Amino acid sequence: MVKALVCPSCGGSVTIKYADKSLSCVCPSCLSVLSNENESLKIIIKAQKKMAMPLIPLGGRYHFQGHDWEVIGYLIRSDHLEQYQWSEYLLFNPFVGYRFLVCMDGHWSYVIKTKSAPKISDNAKTATYLNRKYELFHKGKVKTLYVLGEFYWRVKENDLVTAEDYIHPPEMLSVEKDNDEEIWSLGQYVDRIEIETAFKLAGRMPWDVGVAPHQPSPHKEKNTIVLYVTCLSLLLICIQFVFLVLILKRDVLNVRYDLSTTKGTVIKTDTFTVTDRGGYIHSDLNANVSNDWFEIAAEIVNQETGEEYEYDQGIEFYSGSDYEGYWSEGSRDSDRRVAKLPAGTYYMNITTNSGQSAPMSFSLKLSEGNTSWGNFLIAIFLLLLYPIYYVIRSSTFEMSRWSQSDYSPYWREDA
């Protein structure tokens, strides 16, 4: 029901579109807040100071969240110290009722009053509503600074209420209470593109700043990543197990030589056979060196084709004693990985060398079917890179969210 009245403050015309529902309205001429509880208007707040024009014009009709809405009211609110401000738009549909559209730091929420109060935990740190648990984010006073349009409640001068916010992104459960009543509402975070499209705000949207308390994290692939990493890790473990069990290690050459001199001695080994089993060739060298070094230059020669495969391997071992006692460095053993050889018959040409031309004995063992752990560990590491990156980004996002709260689960330096 539309009602046209005269403003008792300035004498201007005041039109109330929903006079049967609106208990308060604002004179468009002098910005006085008026009560519509009786036949004539009564001044509640005289001549507000104009603070801002609403981004979404009052009286506009828009389709949003599956319904057609008319924007009938606009508020600017803040904390009691007026350090933080936000805007609230009152939406009305005769068949659906009232909803709020809240904008703070460029982040938007669609808010509806709850049908019942949630259950608050004993320590007041959580609230449970419709089987969903919300965590306490904020407690404080909320002040109404500026109003335009008409409202279904009686706007009060210097309106100050106690507010509490509990979050479970993308939702925020809030309560506002004073000496007379307690009102619970549920806010749903809305993407800025959806707001821009629905309310025709192209080119006029404020930039979103920081992380909103109930803004959904863009890093929600947690369960998928865990499943992905678990499955691939199990697959790699199974493959590695197959190599360990089915590809049996076998010695193809095991020789020992006693040398009268180690400088430039050339040894030709007996022939040995390499099969086509998987894995790589491994070389183990042992020499009874003492305060000396020993090395071999080896040629593995394919008896049928004459193709050569060369590698070097060395040992050094030093020991002694000083004022601190016995010391040693190096080792009399060394091992090295040799590339996989094609199946065939081979022999080796070994040339020895050392620092001292002293009698020495050494042994050399070649084995095939050795399984590489390096590739397995590298694969596991590479597999974990993205989950590690995800965890870091996700944690950074959550820490940024909770940095605004006095109830952060994260340790803070200023806490």
pTM of the model: 0.68
Domain residue extents for the chain:
51-198, 219-247+371-415, 258-370
| pLDDT attached to residue 285 | 97
- Residue pLDDT, tens place only, 252-295: 999 999 998 888 899 999 999 999 877 789 999 999 999 999 99
- Which residues in the chain come in under a pLDDT of 70? 39, 157, 220-223, 225-226, 240, 243-247, 411-415
| pLDDT attached to residue 415 | 44
Q: Does domain 258-370 have CATH number 2.60.120.260?
A: yes
HEC per residue, the chain: CCEEEECCCCCCEEEECCCCCCCEEECCCCCCEEECCCCCCEEEECCCCCCCCCCCCCCCEEEECCEEEEEEEEEEEEECCCCCEEEEEEEEECCCEEEEEEEECCEEEEEEECCCCCEECCCCCEEEECCEEEEEEEEEEEEEEEEEEEECCCCCCCCEEEEEEEEECCEEEEEEECCCCEEEEEEEEECHHHHHHHCCCCCCCCCCCCCCCCCCCCCCCHHHHHHHHHHHHHHHHHHHHHHHHHCCCEEEEEEEEEECCCCCCEEECCCEEECCCCCEEEEEEEECCCCEEEEEEEEEEECCCCCEEEEEEEEEEEEEEECCEEEEEEECEEEEEECCCCCEEEEEEEEEEECCCCCEEEEEEEEEEECCCHHHHHHHHHHHHHHHHHHHHHHHHHHHHHCCCCCCCCCCCCC
- Residue pLDDT, tens place only, 20-47: 889 999 999 999 999 888 767 788 888 8
